[in-house]
Amino acid sequence: MSNERLRAAILSSDLNLATIAARVGVDPKTIEKWVAGRPPHRRNRYALASVLGRDVSYLWADEQSPQATTEVGQAELVSLYPHRSVVPNSAWTDLYSRAIENIDVLVYAGFWLSEDPLFLRIVREKAQAGARVRFLLGDPNSESVAQRGADEGIGDAMASKIRNALVNYTKLFGLPRVEFRVHGTVLYNSIYRADNELLVNTHVHGVGAYLAPVLHIRRLPQGTMFATYAESIDRVWSEARPLSSPTDFGDH
């Protein structure tokens, strides 16, 4: 029996069959077979549903089993890098250049990013175009920052890196839709978000972040990994303290 919901979703989209097939990573004839009634692999279901902007449960009435949850999670994972040091330098600027609505940076310091003039330009341009930009850096006076410095073997240098990063962001302070906050949260990951994509730099005890793995994750219908990290950003943001200037630390 043909899948009329899938047929209607394809016809009502602004994409032709060849474009849809290319985005899913299959041949157009394969999609024609799915419309005719052949059930696709779950990974392809979630990819196609994402391209069409529909829920998987609408296009296919299958119940999501633990196996299905695992498979969609695997589909959410775009790339896995063993170390941040081997991630292409353009990965972050390419990510943020695709943003339209949201840019988030959740780190302790992320000093290396604050030195990238292209990244700074992208932030300004995206904010001017209407995107909301949120920077979350560690509070230099917090216990969590002191502990992270000790864990990495750099001591007070961690707090200094945060202060220096904020100075590098001086020209972004005061721009419409660009906000800065500092947090005292124990971070298990540094998270970089642009709309429906994330780069997650995991934290490993005793190892600098540049040597820890990085995951590239995209949001998919019924997926859970993207939502888990995105909600983490929101929780830290809600508890963080706003900064009015690069030196507004309330030092004591």
Strand 132-138 and strand 189-194: the pairing is: unpaired
State the pTM of this model: 0.74
Number of structural domains (the chain) is 2
Residue type, 98: R
Q: Which of 62, 89, 105 is the last residue of a domain?
A: 62
Residues in the chain predicted with pLDDT less than 70, given as ranges, are 61-66, 249-252
Contact 196, 223 (CB under 8 A): no
Residue 94 sits in the same domain as residue 132 = yes
Per DSSP, the three-state class of 136 is: strand
Residues 100, 221, single domain; the answer is: yes
Q: Are residues 39 and 123 in the same domain?
A: no
Kindly give the interhelix angle for 28-36 and 4-12, rounded to the nearest 10 degrees. Answer: 140
Q: Are residues 91 and 55 in the same domain?
A: no
Residues 94 and 42 placed together within one structural domain of the fold? no
- Give the separation between CA 88 and CA 21, rounded to whole angstroms: 27
Domain stop point among 34, 62, 90: 62
Residue 87 vs residues 93, 109, 199: alpha-carbon distances, Å: 12, 18, 10
251 found inside a domain: no
Q: From the centroid of its chain, how far is CA 197?
A: 4
Nearest Cα to Cα of residue 2 among 31, 45, 43, 27: 31
Tell whether 233 and 168 lie within a shared domain.
Answer: yes
- Quote the pLDDT of residue 50: 87
Query: Using one digit for the tens of pLDDT, what is the confidence trace for 89-120?
Result: 899 999 999 999 999 999 999 999 999 999 99
Indicate whether 45 and 147 sit together in one domain.
Answer: no
**Sequence-separated (6 or more) residues with CB below 8 Å from residue 136:** 104, 105, 106, 107, 181, 182, 183, 233, 236, 237, 240
Indicate whether 97 and 160 sit together in one domain: yes
Angle at 197 between CA 191 and CA 203, to 5 degrees: 25
